[in-house]
């Protein structure tokens, strides 16, 4: 159609290229010459002018860049298309279309339909009849007809969640053509080989003039082919058709209601068609898996259905001993219970009488029955138990004194037992308690490491038989079997030769016991086993079916009930499409592909005739438009970067070359050197705590009101500075505390400015304060309202005081009194008579000291043990202490008297000294008397 | 179109001195309020109407415990039963450091201003020196002249400036030893943070500062229009505005915001800030600084502009 390898969809748009010289001229335009002005505050002007600056002349290469950009956009709008289709049908006979509408075509079905339509259109152009046949349909009708009829059939066809029946389709085509050689035979295939793999040969046998194999890209042809429940994860096997490159696909497990339960990914190596994924999830969660799907591939093959083979088992427990719950650690069922409770539903009989209990348990259809130390069952129960085992039940027995004493003809033990037990170790024995040997390879316990610390002191012994070793799942180091088993009917009997409690061995209190039991439970049949009747063949009605997009639907359509016969895995077919069969109570999953199928490409080697292989339509004819737009966009970005660079936007970011080299080297070293990683057992906030441990810090409560908190912080900073200058106490910077969460115990005094506007502390915070005060801390409450009640009724308390009352209401507060004149607070550093802050006049309230009448009144300081856990003032200490960064006071005192501020600081010093030294200072005043008493 | 602003020659200090003395004649003597004088106080010219060190008798007062016995005036004490101490009047002079920024950007004069910014700054500095010297304060200029206490301090400062021209930027303050007053005159067009980084340490050393910001009217009003290329006289940087009139409002907002923030920050330091335009009379700024120096709060005259 055209000499060029591409055509323009809108060739008219190319006329716009004429405009390029005009664009060139516009870009070259330069602004007029500016008036030059000297302007000292240029920096201020630069701040507001930045966006307007334009270079007076753009360099030629920048102009060229912009021209290219404009040209790219014009060409992009003109929409050049590569590889346009052309009609190459052979006119020698009818067009035969063999179309796969199997599961793998669901992803690109529209393109397949487009391709087929294009072929049909070509046939219509040449007046050829069209025979069309779909391989996955149940009925194949390949009679050649008109192009319109073929189009209708094509429109009606849809991908099926099935594997293609190519042989049947080719046979139908052969019958319909009735010996006529088709002109062009196009096989639109999903590319996956099925059956005997001779489909190409069969097609070639039709002797078409032109044989075409049309394939999609095949990257959607990925299927989950198997899944296995491992010890701690579910291993999913997936297979793919396109093995060229490495590919990782996400995998998700859903529960019955479609919720995501677990995620994993399957990673195909390049050249590998099969890979496995691990879905790690706890056992309980894995029980809930109902469907595993490859994300992003909506096909029936990418969906794997699970049935209740993965469900929790019901396990019945039986014990021979009286159920004495007062000593649970001596009861064997206790250990089994603890070991299995996470993995299985445990049922226990209500009756102690075994004759009643066993039928009762079997009526609940358990998967497994565990008998701990039962020597002899009532005679009438042997038959139902045996029947239950033969129907698929699993019986686990544990030895014990009763079993050891039981007669040897018990049918419910896997091996013949010697009567009595064998004791290892002890006063009358040469032998030592035995450890376990490695688990035999055939045992389900294989793969578990050999337990090192399990010692068996006592066991029951099996009579040696020829097949004993093959029936042994675990044995002692000296070779005597510890766990033996026997298959019986569809079921199995397992015997642990030790007791289930810790008297015979320490196995029941080890982790291996749990793992052994868990693996045994995994072996048992799920879904319950009845002791009555058998189910040789079962017919299950379709319950939920997969559609081609891998979605479970309740449309069952023409699906027929699934017949399950023992020993033969059902296969999906047109009659039994993949899905769930059964009912809500119990269903069996039928997956599209048989287990462990490998997807292989169609083998077309050795054909007697040549064929052409093509891709689907749309893949070949591709438009240059997106790439041209991308080029234009990249040019635009380059242009923007250049403009920014010329405008000096990066001038500030310019890094000296040496620095850049150093940074690059450091980055490289950081990447190259493997980090020395240590386990980090720190908790968040540890750094803060460590930073505050080495120094005394003054602390205040963050009330949540910014101004109050700022004043507290500045106030304590002022006091800190004062203390540093005047005393030997040199505190660190003040610390704001969130009393609801921060650790309080590092601070001897917490300053709490009460603000009625701040949020009320939570009860938990108040109780933390209570604990802090009990543990020896002191809280200094400051209502800051000494003068705020002026002008109101004198009886009223201020809002701050009311808030304080509300807070203290929840605290355990001792009786309070204003600081008495002989209290140590008045003497701990300076001699003070009152404690002013910004205001003066409010007393400082502290815990009332017990009135010690016997003390002489002339003492300079009253001795008292302990430090008051609470101080209350209204004088606004922090306001008086607060200083700014230059050391100047922030707030004036009331009245404005610098002397009062000095006394406020002294009050703070006295309070801090009192806090840190306690009654030591009170003792100081007695030093002369003490020295006198010592005779100095 | 002729340019609005241009760079002027450096003003000879002799001419400035005479202009400064003319200005200073209009202003009364300035006695610096010595509020925070601690160490720089030396015996000086005028009494402080307070007791302190000095020559003249101030008062007798009763002796209190702890005072040196040598201070007791035995003659007075002998007249009755009490013991008296003789107090003397505190006589002190204050050290005031004057400094003007003479960086290239100060050489600017637009057609709206009467004189260049540099000329105005020198006039203000010398006039202040004249007034302060009259009241016996000690006048110094950082980097140029050690503090002197002399009637002709203004002349001495002018001649010192002739020999040691002032450099641009902010002054070297190493020679300022202790608490004293500092008068800085300049255009302060550097970023506010840079200025404050230089000034905050001085404030922390206890100095009281008085900043006079000299501005040309063209800098404030931005009377430019059309395509204009602006040049910074200090860095030589060029900036082209396509249409200068459209950024005028933004520029004025930024300019005054910068001035306000500088003033606020200085007031936080406890310093004073006096903006001044070269098209106003130099006496306006002189009076304002004079008031600040004498401890009176500056009045908001001319809508805050002086």
Same domain, yes or no: B176 and B126: yes
Domain boundary among A615, A639, A669: A615
Q: At what angle do helices A706-726 and A898-917 cross, to 10 degrees?
A: 80
Cβ pair B229:A48 closer than 8 A: no
Same domain, yes or no: B218 and B86: no
Cβ pair A39:B219 closer than 8 A: yes
Tokens of residue A809, six digits: 């209401």
Residue B83 has pLDDT above 70, yes or no: yes
pLDDT of residue A536: 45
Same domain, yes or no: B66 and B125: no
Average pLDDT of every residue of chain A: 79
Domain annotation covers residue A910: yes
Which residues between 258 and 297 in chain B have a beta carbon less than 8 angstroms from any beta carbon of chain A? 258, 268-270
Spatial CB neighbours of A811, under 8 Å, sequence gap ≥ 6: A766, A769, A770, A773
Beta pairing class for A35-38 and B228-231? parallel
Helix (H, G, I), strand (E, B) or coil at A110: helix
Tell me how many domains chain B contains: 2
Mean pLDDT of A863-882: 82
Spatial CB neighbours of A927, under 8 Å, sequence gap ≥ 6: none
**Residue among A30, A36, A40 with most chain B CBs within 10 A, to mutate:** A40
Interface list for chain A against chain B, based on CB atoms closer than 8 Å:
31-49, 52-54, 56, 884, 886-888
Around Cβ A322, how many Cβ atoms within 10 Å? 7
Residue B29 has pLDDT above 70, yes or no: no
Alpha-carbon distance of A642 to A59, in angstroms, equals 11
Same domain, yes or no: B119 and B139: yes
Domain annotation covers residue A34: no
Spatial CB neighbours of A311, under 8 Å, sequence gap ≥ 6: A287, A526, A527
Distance to chain A for B168, nearest Cα, Å: 13
Alpha-carbon distance of A298 to A564, in angstroms, equals 28
pLDDT in tens, B217-233: 988 888 888 778 888 88
Alpha-carbon distance of A294 to A304, in angstroms, equals 9
A39 closest CB neighbour out of B232, B243, B258 = B232
Spatial CB neighbours of A415, under 8 Å, sequence gap ≥ 6: A462, A463, A465, A468, A471, A481, A484, A486, A495
Mean pLDDT of A792-821: 76
Instruction: Check: CB of residue A839 under 8 Å from CB of residue A874.
Output: yes
Spatial CB neighbours of A886, under 8 Å, sequence gap ≥ 6: B200, B203, B204, B269
Alpha-carbon distance of B21 to B32, in angstroms, equals 19
Residue with tokens 């060739």: A11
B231 closest CB neighbour out of A37, A43, A48 = A37
Nearest to A159 by CA among A242, A199, A216: A216
Helix (H, G, I), strand (E, B) or coil at B229: strand
pLDDT in tens, B111-154: 888 888 888 888 888 888 888 887 777 888 887 888 887 778 88
pLDDT of residue A30: 61
Distance to chain B for A679, nearest Cα, Å: 45
Same domain, yes or no: B174 and B233: yes
Domain annotation covers residue A412: yes
Tell me how many domains chain A contains: 3
pLDDT of residue B55: 60
Range of the domain at A124: 95-219+600-615
Tokens of residue A652, six digits: 């500030």
Domain annotation covers residue A330: yes
Nearest to A895 by CA among A908, A904, A886: A904
Instruction: Check: CB of residue A907 under 8 Å from CB of residue A828.
Output: no
For residue B11, what is the domain's CATH number? Answer: 3.40.50
Around Cβ A663, how many Cβ atoms within 10 Å? 11
Burial (Cβ within 10 Å: 0-12, 13-18, ≥19) of residue A600: middle
Residue A320 has pLDDT above 70, yes or no: no
Residue A817 has pLDDT above 90, yes or no: no
Cβ pair A38:B233 closer than 8 A: yes
Same domain, yes or no: B282 and B295: yes
DSSP string for residues in A808-840: HHTS----EEEPPTTSGGGTSSS--S---SSS-
Of A49-53, A506-510, A642-646, give the lowest mean pLDDT range.
Answer: A49-53
Same domain, yes or no: B110 and B99: yes
* CA A338, A342, A344, A348 torsion-angle sign: positive
Around Cβ A555, how many Cβ atoms within 10 Å? 10
Domain boundary among A494, A523, A552: A523
Beta pairing class for A778-782 and A749-753? parallel
B230 closest CB neighbour out of A42, A47, A888 = A42
Cα B3 to Cα B47, B113, B229, B232, distances in angstroms: 54, 14, 11, 14
Q: Phi and psi of A261, rounded to 5°?
A: -110, -45
Same domain, yes or no: B57 and B184: no
pLDDT in tens, A642-696: 877 775 556 555 555 566 667 677 766 655 555 455 566 667 777 778 888 888 8
Q: Which residues of chain A make contact with B200, given a CB cutoff of 8 A?
A: 886
Domain annotation covers residue A635: no
Cα A760 to Cα A575, A763, A798, A869, B203, distances in angstroms: 72, 9, 16, 21, 41
Around Cβ A168, how many Cβ atoms within 10 Å? 16
Residue A906 has pLDDT above 90, yes or no: yes
Alpha-carbon distance of A45 to A53, in angstroms, equals 12
Consecutive H or E run containing A154: helix A147-156
A40 closest CB neighbour out of B219, B247, B251 = B219
Using a CB–CB cutoff of 8 Å, tell me whether B105 touches chain A: yes
Cβ pair A54:B242 closer than 8 A: yes
How many contacts (CB atoms, under 8 Å) link A and B?
104
Higher-scoring residue by pLDDT: B241, A902: A902
pLDDT in tens, A3-22: 455 677 777 778 888 888 88
Residue A715 has pLDDT above 90, yes or no: yes
Alpha-helix residue ranges (DSSP H) falling in A727-798: 763-774
Cβ pair A38:B7 closer than 8 A: yes
Same domain, yes or no: A470 and A609: no
Cβ pair B203:A886 closer than 8 A: yes
- In the DSSP assignment, the letter for residue A547 is -
Residue A206 has pLDDT above 60, yes or no: yes
- In the DSSP assignment, the letter for residue A105 is G
Cβ pair A35:B229 closer than 8 A: yes
**Residue among B102, B111, B240, B261 with most chain A CBs within 10 A, to mutate:** B240
Using a CB–CB cutoff of 8 Å, tell me whether B203 touches chain A: yes
Burial (Cβ within 10 Å: 0-12, 13-18, ≥19) of residue A535: exposed
pLDDT of residue A243: 80
Sorting pLDDT into bands at 50, 70 and 90, what band is B298?
A: very low
Domain boundary among A523, A555, A586: A523
Same domain, yes or no: B104 and B49: no
Same domain, yes or no: B215 and B245: yes
Mean pLDDT of A361-376: 83
Alpha-helix residue ranges (DSSP H) falling in A79-146: 109-125
Cβ pair A39:B231 closer than 8 A: yes
Distance to chain A for B247, nearest Cα, Å: 7
Cα A326 to Cα A322, A330, A635, B55, distances in angstroms: 11, 9, 84, 105
Around Cβ A562, how many Cβ atoms within 10 Å? 24
pLDDT of residue A909: 93
Mean pLDDT of B290-294: 79
Sorting pLDDT into bands at 50, 70 and 90, what band is B300?
A: very low
Range of the domain at B204: 5-38+94-304
Domain annotation covers residue A458: yes
Query: For chain A, what percent of residues have pLDDT higher than 90?
Result: 5
Distance to chain B for A41, nearest Cα, Å: 6
Please work out, in degrees rounded to the nearest 5, the angle formed at the alpha carbon of residue A800 by the alpha carbons of A797 and A802.
55
**Residue among A38, A46, A50, A648 with most chain B CBs within 10 A, to mutate:** A38
Q: Which residues of chain A make contact with B228, given a CB cutoff of 8 A?
A: 34-37
Burial (Cβ within 10 Å: 0-12, 13-18, ≥19) of residue A153: buried
Q: At what angle do helices A42-49 and B248-269 cross, to 10 degrees?
A: 130
Instruction: Check: CB of residue B259 under 8 Å from CB of residue B188.
Output: no
Alpha-carbon distance of A757 to A802, in angstroms, equals 11
Same domain, yes or no: B107 and B166: yes
Nearest to B196 by CA among B215, B209, B180: B209
Same domain, yes or no: A335 and A189: no
Alpha-carbon distance of B236 to B81, in angstroms, equals 80
**Residue among B190, B230, B257, B264 with most chain A CBs within 10 A, to mutate:** B230
Alpha-helix residue ranges (DSSP H) falling in A583-656: 625-646
pLDDT of residue A793: 47
Alpha-carbon distance of B116 to B125, in angstroms, equals 14
Q: Phi and psi of B96, rounded to 5°?
A: -125, 125
Mean pLDDT of B44-49: 52
Tokens of residue B154, six digits: 């203004």
Query: For chain A, what percent of residues have pLDDT higher than 70?
Result: 84
A786: left (phi over 0), alpha (psi -120 to 50) or beta: alpha
Tokens of residue A804, six digits: 């304080």
Nearest to B107 by CA among B117, B120, B99: B117
Distance to chain A for B126, nearest Cα, Å: 24
Using a CB–CB cutoff of 8 Å, tell me whether B255 touches chain A: yes
Same domain, yes or no: B131 and B188: yes
pLDDT of residue B295: 64
Same domain, yes or no: A323 and A194: no
For residue A769, what is the domain's CATH number? Answer: 3.40.50.12140
Spatial CB neighbours of A177, under 8 Å, sequence gap ≥ 6: A94, A96, A131, A142, A144, A206
Q: Which residues of chain B make contact with A52, given a CB cutoff of 8 A?
A: 241-243, 247
Cα B209 to Cα A310, B28, B204, B212, B299, distances in angstroms: 86, 21, 11, 10, 18
Instruction: Check: CB of residue B113 under 8 Å from CB of residue B279.
Output: yes
pLDDT of residue A44: 83
Spatial CB neighbours of B98, under 8 Å, sequence gap ≥ 6: B125, B128, B129, B139, B140, B141, B157, B183, B185
pLDDT of residue A718: 93
pLDDT of residue A908: 93
Instruction: Check: CB of residue A165 under 8 Å from CB of residue A136.
Output: yes
Alpha carbon B11 to its chain centroid, in Å, reads 20
Residue A733 has pLDDT above 50, yes or no: yes
Residue A355 has pLDDT above 70, yes or no: yes
Cβ pair B231:A38 closer than 8 A: yes
Cβ pair A53:B219 closer than 8 A: no
The three-state DSSP-derived secondary structure of A386-405 is HHHHHCCCEEEEEECHHHHH
* CA A909, A912, A915, A920 torsion-angle sign: negative
């Amino acid at each position: 159609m055209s000499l060029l390898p591409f055509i323009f969809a809108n060739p008219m748009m190319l006329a716009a290229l004429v405009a390029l010289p005009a664009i060139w001229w516009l870009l070259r335009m330069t602004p007029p010459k500016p008036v030059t002005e000297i302007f000292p505050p240029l920096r201020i002007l630069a701040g507001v002018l930045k966006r307007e600056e334009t270079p007076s002349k753009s360099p030629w290469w920048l102009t060229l860049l912009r021209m290219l950009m404009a040209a790219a956009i014009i060409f992009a709008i003109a929409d050049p298309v590569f590889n346009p289709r052309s009609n190459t049908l052979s006119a020698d006979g009818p067009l035969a279309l063999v179309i796969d509408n199997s599961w793998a075509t669901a992803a690109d079905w529209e393109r397949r339909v487009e391709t087929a339509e294009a072929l049909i259109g070509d046939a219509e152009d040449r007046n050829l009849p069209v025979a069309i046949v779909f391989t996955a349909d149940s009925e194949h009708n390949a009679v050649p007809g008109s192009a319109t009829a073929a189009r209708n059939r094509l429109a009606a066809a849809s991908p099926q969640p099935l594997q293609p029946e190519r042989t049947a389709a080719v046979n139908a085509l052969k019958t319909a053509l009735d010996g006529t050689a088709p002109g062009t035979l196009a096989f639109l295939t999903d590319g996956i080989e099925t059956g005997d793999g001779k489909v190409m040969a069969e097609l070639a046998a039709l002797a078409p003039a032109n044989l075409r194999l049309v394939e999609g890209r095949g990257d959607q042809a990925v299927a989950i082919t198997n899944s296995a429940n491992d010890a701690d994860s579910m291993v999913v096997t997936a297979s793919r058709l396109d093995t060229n490159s490495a590919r990782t696909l996400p995998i998700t497990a859903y529960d019955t209601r479609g919720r995501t339960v677990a995620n994993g990914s399957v990673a195909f190596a390049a050249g590998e068609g099969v890979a496995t994924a691990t879905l790690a999830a706890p056992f309980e969660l894995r029980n809930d898996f109902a469907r595993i799907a490859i994300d992003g591939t909506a096909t029936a093959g990418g969906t794997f259905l699970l049935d209740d083979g993965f469900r929790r088992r019901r396990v019945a427990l039986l014990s021979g001993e009286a159920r004495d719950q007062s000593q649970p650690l001596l009861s064997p069922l206790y250990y089994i219970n603890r070991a299995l409770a996470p993995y299985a539903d445990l049922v226990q009989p209500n009756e102690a009488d075994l004759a009643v209990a066993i039928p009762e348990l079997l009526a609940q259809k358990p998967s497994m029955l565990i008998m701990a130390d039962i020597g002899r069952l009532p005679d009438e129960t042997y038959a139902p138990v045996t029947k239950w085992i033969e129907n698929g039940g699993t019986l686990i027995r544990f030895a014990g004194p009763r079993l050891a004493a039981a007669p040897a003809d018990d049918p419910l033990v896997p091996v013949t037992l010697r009567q009595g037990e064998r004791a290892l170790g002890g006063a009358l024995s040469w032998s030592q308690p035995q450890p376990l040997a490695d688990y035999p390879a055939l045992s389900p316990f294989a793969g578990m490491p050999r337990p090192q610390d399990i010692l068996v002191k006592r066991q029951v012994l099996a009579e040696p038989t020829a097949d004993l070793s093959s029936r042994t799942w675990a044995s002692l180091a000296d070779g005597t079997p510890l766990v033996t088993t026997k298959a019986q009917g569809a079921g199995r009997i397992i015997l642990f030769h030790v007791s289930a409690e810790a008297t015979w061995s320490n196995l029941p209190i080890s982790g291996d016991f749990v793992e052994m039991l868990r693996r045994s439970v995994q072996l048992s049949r799920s879904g319950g086993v009845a002791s009555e009747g058998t189910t040789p063949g079962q017919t299950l009605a379709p319950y939920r079916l997969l559609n081609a997009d891998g979605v479970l639907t309740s449309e069952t359509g023409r699906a027929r009930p699934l017949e399950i016969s023992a020993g033969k895995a059902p296969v999906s077919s047109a009659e039994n499409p993949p899905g769930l069969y059964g009912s809500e109570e119990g269903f069996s999953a039928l997956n599209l592909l048989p287990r462990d199928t490998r997807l292989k490409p169609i083998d077309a080697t050795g054909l007697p005739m040549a064929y052409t292989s093509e891709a689907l339509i749309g893949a070949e004819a591709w438009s240059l438009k997106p790439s041209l737009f991308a080029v234009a966009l990249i040019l635009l970005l380059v242009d923007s970067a250049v403009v920014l660079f010329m405008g000096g936007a990066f001038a500030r970011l310019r890094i000296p070359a040496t620095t850049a080299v150093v940074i690059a080297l450091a980055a490289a070293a950081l990447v190259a050197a493997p980090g020395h990683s240590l386990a980090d057992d720190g908790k968040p906030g540890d750094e803060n705590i460590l930073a505050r441990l080495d120094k005394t810090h003054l602390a205040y409560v963050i009330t949540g009101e910014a101004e109050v908190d700022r004043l507290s912080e500045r106030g304590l900073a002022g006091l800190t500075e004062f203390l540093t200058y005047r005393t030997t106490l040199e505190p660190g910077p003040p610390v704001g505390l969130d009393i609801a969460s921060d650790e309080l115990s590092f601070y001897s005094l917490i300053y709490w400015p009460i603000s009625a506007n701040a949020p009320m502390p939570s009860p938990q915070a108040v109780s933390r304060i209570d604990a802090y005060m009990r543990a020896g801390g002191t809280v200094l409450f400051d209502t800051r309202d000494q003068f705020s009640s002026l002008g109101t009724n004198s009886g009223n308390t201020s809002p701050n005081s009311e808030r304080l009352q509300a807070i203290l209401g929840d605290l355990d507060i001792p009786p309070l009194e204003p600081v008495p004149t002989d209290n140590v607070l008045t003497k701990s550093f300076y001699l003070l008579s009152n404690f002013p802050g910004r205001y003066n006049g409010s007393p400082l309230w502290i815990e009332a000291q017990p009135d010690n009448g016997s003390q002489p009144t002339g003492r300079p300081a009253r001795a008292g043990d302990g430090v008051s856990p609470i101080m209350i003032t209204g004088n606004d200490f922090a306001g008086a202490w607060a200083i700014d960064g230059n050391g100047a006071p922030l707030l004036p005192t009331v009245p404005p008297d610098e002397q009062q501020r000095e006394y406020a600081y002294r009050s703070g010093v006295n309070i801090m000294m009192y806090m840190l030294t306690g009654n030591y200072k009170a003792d100081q005043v007695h030093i002369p008397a003490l020295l006198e008493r010592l005779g100095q | 179109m002729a340019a609005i602003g241009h760079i002027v020659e450096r003003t000879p200090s002799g001419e400035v001195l005479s202009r400064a003395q003319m200005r200073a004649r209009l202003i009364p003597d300035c006695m610096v309020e010595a509020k925070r004088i601690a160490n720089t106080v030396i015996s000086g010219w005028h009494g402080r109407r307070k007791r302190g060190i000095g020559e003249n008798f101030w008062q007798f007062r009763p002796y209190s415990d702890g005072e040196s016995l040598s201070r007791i005036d035995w003659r007075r004490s002998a007249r009755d039963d009490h013991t008296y101490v003789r107090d003397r009047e505190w006589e002190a002079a204050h050290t005031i450091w004057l400094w003007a920024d003479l960086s290239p950007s100060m050489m600017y004069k637009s057609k709206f201003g009467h004189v260049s910014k540099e000329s105005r700054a020198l006039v203000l500095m010398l006039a202040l020196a004249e007034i302060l010297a009259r009241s016996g304060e000690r006048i110094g200029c950082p980097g140029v002249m050690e503090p002197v206490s002399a009637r002709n301090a203004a002349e001495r400062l002018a001649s010192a400036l002739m020999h040691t021209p002032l450099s641009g930027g902010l002054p070297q303050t190493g020679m300022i030893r202790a608490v004293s007053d500092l008068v800085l005159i300049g255009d302060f067009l550097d970023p506010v943070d840079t200025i404050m980084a230089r000034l905050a340490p001085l404030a922390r050393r206890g100095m009281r500062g008085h900043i006079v910001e000299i501005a040309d009217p063209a800098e404030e009003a931005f009377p430019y229009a059309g395509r204009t290329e602006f040049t910074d006289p200090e860095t030589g940087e060029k900036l082209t505005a396509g249409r200068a009139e459209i950024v005028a409002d933004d520029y004025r907002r930024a300019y005054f915001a910068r001035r306000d923030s500088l003033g606020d920050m200085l007031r936080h330091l406890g310093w004073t800030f006096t903006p001044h335009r070269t098209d106003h009379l130099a006496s306006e700024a002189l009076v304002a600084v004079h008031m600040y120096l004498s401890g009176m709060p500056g009045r908001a005259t001319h809508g805050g502009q002086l």
